[in-house]
A and B are shown apart, each in its own frame.
Chain A
Amino acid sequence: MGGTLRYGTVTEVASLDPHVYVGSAWKVLIEAIYSPLVGYDAKGKIVSRLAERWETPDAKTTVFHLRKGVTFHDGTPFSAEDVKFSLDRIMDQKTGATLRTNLAGVTVSVVDANTVKLATAEPNATLLSILALPEAAIVSKKWIEGGPNVKVQANGTGPFVLKAYEPSVRALLEKNTKYFIKGQPYLNAVEFKMIKSDDARVNALRTNAVDMIDFVPWKDIDTLRRVANLTVDSSGGAFMNLWFNATRKPYDDVRVRKAFAYAIDRAAISKAAFFGHGTPIEGPPTTSDSPYYNKDLAKTYKYDPARAKALLAEAGYAKGFEFEFLVFQGLGIYTSTAQIVQANLKDVGINAKIQLVEFADLLDRKNKANYDVMIYGVSMKLTDPDVYAYYLGADSTYWAKPIGYRDDTLEKLLVDGRATIDLNARKAIYRKVEQRVMETSPWAFVNFREQAQAYTKKVRGYSHLGGALNESSAGISLPTMWIQ
Chain B
Amino acid sequence: MLGYLGRRFAAAAITLALACAAVFASIHLLPGDPVAMLLGEQAGADPEVVQKMRGQLGLDRPLIEQFISWIGGLATGDLGRSLRTGEPVFADVMVRLPRSLELIGGGLSIAMLLGIPLGVVAARGRGRVAGTAASVAAIAGFSAPVFVSGIILVIVFSLWLDILPSSGFVEFAEDPTMHLACLALPATAIGINFMGVVARMTRASLSDTMTKEYVRLARAKGLSRDAAILKHALPNALVPVIAVIGIRAGNLLGGTVIVEALFDWPGLSSMLVSAVFARDYPVIQGALVAIFAVFVLIGLAIDTCQGIVDPRTRESAA
Partner of B42 from the list A169, A197, A357, A397 (CB cut-off 8 Å) is A397
Which residues between 1 and 51 of chain A lie within 8 Å of chain B, taking CB atoms? Answer: 12, 14-15, 20-22
Q: Is B151 an interface residue (CB 8 A)?
A: yes
Are A364 and B85 closer than 8 Å at their CB atoms?
no
Task: Please determine whether B266 and A360 come into contact, CB atoms closer than 8 angstroms.
Answer: no
Q: Is the CB of B261 within 8 A of A200?
A: yes
- Between A199, A204, A358, A396, the greatest number of chain B beta carbons within 10 A of the residue's beta carbon is seen for A199
Is B40 touching A21 in the complex (CB atoms < 8 A)? yes
- CB-based contact B154/A203 at 8 Å: yes
Contact present for A193 and B42 (CB under 8 Å)? no
Q: Which of B190-198, B209-217, B271-279 lies at the interface?
A: B271-279
| In the assembled complex, B61 has its CB within 8 A of some CB on chain A | no
Q: Interface size (B, Cβ < 8 Å)?
A: 48
In the complex, whether A149 has a CB less than 8 A from a CB of chain B is yes
> In the assembly, what is the distance between CA of A120 and CA of B280, in Å?
38
Q: Which of B120-128, B158-166, B199-207, B288-296 contacts A (4 or more CB under 8 A)?
A: B158-166
Whether A203 contacts B39 in the complex (CB less than 8 A), given A15-B84, A93-B49, comes out as no
**B16 touches A (CB below 8 Å):** no
**CB–CB A93/B52 < 8 A:** yes
Closest chain A residue, CB of each to CB of B258 = A197
Cross-chain pair count, CB within 8 angstroms:
148
Distance, CA A14 to CA B95, complexed state (A): 15
Asked if A168 contacts B86 (CB within 8 A), the reply is no
User: Chain A contacts of B87 at CB under 8 A?
Assistant: 149, 151-152, 167
With a cutoff of 8 Å between Cβ atoms, the chain A residues found around residue B52 in the complex are 93-94, 96
A207/B165 in contact, CB under 8 A: yes
Residue A206 lies at the interface, judged by CB distance under 8 Å to chain B: yes
Query: Would you list which residues of chain B between 227 and 274 have a CB under 8 Å from chain A?
Result: 261-264, 266, 270-271, 274
Tell me how far the C-beta of B271 lies from the nearest C-beta in chain A, rounded to whole angstroms.
7
Q: Is B74 an interface residue (CB 8 A)?
A: no
Evaluate contact between B36 and A94: CB separation under 8 angstroms. no
Listed residue (A100, A167, A361, A390) with the most chain B CB atoms within 10 angstroms of its CB: A167
Closest CB of chain B to A126's CB: distance in Å?
Answer: 15
B residues less than 8 Å from A151 (CB atoms): 84-87
Q: Which residues of A contact B53 (CB under 8 A)?
A: 94, 96
Residues A398 and B167 in contact in the complex (CB < 8 Å), given A15-B84, A367-B36: no
Known: A96-B53, A195-B167, A195-B264. A101 touches B42 (CB 8 A): yes
In the complex, the answer to whether B49 meets A366 with C-beta atoms within 8 Å is no
**Interface residues in B51-81 (C-beta closer than 8 Å to A):** 52-53, 56
Which residues of chain A come closer than 8 Å to B25, judged between CB atoms? none
Contacts of A200 in B (CB 8 A): 166-167, 261-264
The answer to whether the Cβ of A402 comes within 8 Å of any Cβ in the partner chain is: yes
Question: Which residues of B pack against A, CB within 8 Å?
Answer: 30-33, 36-46, 48-49, 52-53, 56, 82, 84-87, 95, 151, 154, 158-159, 162, 165-169, 261-264, 266, 270-271, 274, 277-280
Extra inter-chain contacts (4) besides given A100-B43, A207-B159, CB under 8 Å: A204-B166, A360-B278, A363-B37, A365-B31
Q: Which 5 A-B pairs have the closest CB atoms?
A: A360-B32, A397-B45, A203-B166, A14-B84, A200-B167
